[in-house]
Amino acid sequence: MIDEPRRLPQRLETDPESVERDLFKLVLTVIELIRQLMEKQALRRVDEGDLTDEQVEGLGLGLMHLEQAMDELKSRYGLTTADLNIDLGPLGSLLSE
């Protein structure tokens, strides 16, 4: 009953000067998405209860380092997670945080 909303492509209007920053933002967006999906999946696997304590610890440490690395990258370009977020329509926002 509700029609599909009209989707406007987002244009990354770059000029030679800002190309680096704009492309970096796009790359960070994709990496952040993957990182969040990995965390969700890791939590699911841990909840399934079939991982050893060592595996759980290893997963957690790896993800923790990933988060720290992302924080570092974002701060280098003065970006917040909100800056990276993109609306996917029916799939909701790209990033959950």
Partner 1 sequence: MTQEVAERRTEPGGQISLVDLLDRLLGTGVVLAGDVVISLSGVDLVQVRLHALITTVRAEMVGMVGTGRAGEGER
Partner 2 sequence: MSETGRYMYAISRGIDPTALDATRGLDDGKLAVVEHRGLSAVVSDVDLAEFGEDGLRRNLEDLGWLERVARGHDTVVQAVAQLGPAAPLRLATICLDDDAVRARLDEWYDGLTAALDRVEGRREWSVKAFAPVRAAAERPAATTASGAGAAYLQRKRTETLDRQQAEQQALELAESVHARLSSRSVASRRLQPQDPKLSGFEGTMTLNGAYLVGVEEEAEFAAVAEALAAEHPEARLVIHGPWPPYSFATLEQT
Judged by the rule CB under 8 A, the positions of this chain that interact with partner 2 are 2, 5-6, 8-9, 39-40, 42-43, 46, 53, 56-64, 67-68, 71, 81-82, 87, 93, 96-97
DSSP 40-54: HHHHHHHHHT-S-HH
Out of 46, 51, 66, 79, which residue is the one contacting partner 1 (CB under 8 A)? Answer: 51
Does the footprint of partner 1 cover residue 97 (CB under 8 A)? Answer: no
Query: What does the alpha-carbon distance between residue 41 and residue 47 come to, in Å, rounded to a whole number?
Result: 10
Rounding to the nearest 10 degrees, give the CA dihedral for residues 69, 72, 74, 78.
180
CB of 69 to partner 1, least distance (A): 20
To partner 2, the closest distance from the beta carbon of 8 in angstroms equals: 6
Q: Which stretch binds partner 1 (CB under 8 A): 60-68, 73-81, 88-96?
A: 88-96
Distance CA 56, CA 9 (A): 40
